[in-house]
Amino acid sequence: MMTINGVTSVGDGSLIEIAETQLGNIGGETYWRWLGFSEREDWCAMFVSWCAYQIGYTEAGILPLFSSCKVGIQWFKDHAQWYDNGYTPAPGD
Return d(Cα 28, Cα 43) in angstroms, integer: 6
The two most distant CA atoms of the chain are separated, in Å, by: 39
State how far the Cα of 59 lies from the Cα of 53, in Å rounded to an integer. Answer: 7
C-beta of residue 52 within 8 angstroms of C-beta of residue 58: yes
Read off the pLDDT of residues 33-77 as tens digits, 9 standing for 90 and up. 999 999 999 999 999 999 999 999 999 988 899 999 999 999 989
Closest CA to 52 of 29, 39, 35: 35
Residue 7 pairs with which residues in a beta bridge? 4
pTM: predicted TM-score of the whole model, two decimal places = 0.80
